[in-house]
Amino acid sequence: MSIESDLPTSSDEEVCTIIGKAVVDLSITGQPVNKATLALKLLAMADQDGDEERILLYWIARKAINQPHRFAQAAW
Here the CATH number for the domain that contains residue 14 is 1.20.5.5260
15: nearest Cα among 23, 28, 30, 27: 23
Render pLDDT for 3-48 as a digit per residue (tens, 0 to 9): 444 555 578 889 999 999 999 999 999 999 999 999 999 999 999 9
* Domain presence at residue 2: no
**Which pLDDT belongs to residue 30?**
97
Q: Total domain count for the chain?
A: 1
Q: How confident is the model at residue 66 (pLDDT cuts 50, 70, 90)?
A: confident
Sign (positive/negative) of CA torsion 15, 20, 26, 28? negative
**d(C-alpha 4, C-alpha 76), whole Å:** 28
Statement: residue 69 has pLDDT above 60: yes
Q: Within 13 Å of residue 50, how many CA atoms lie on the same side as its CB?
A: 0
pTM over 0.85: no
Residues 6 or more apart in contact with residue 62 via CB below 8 angstroms: 38, 39, 42, 43
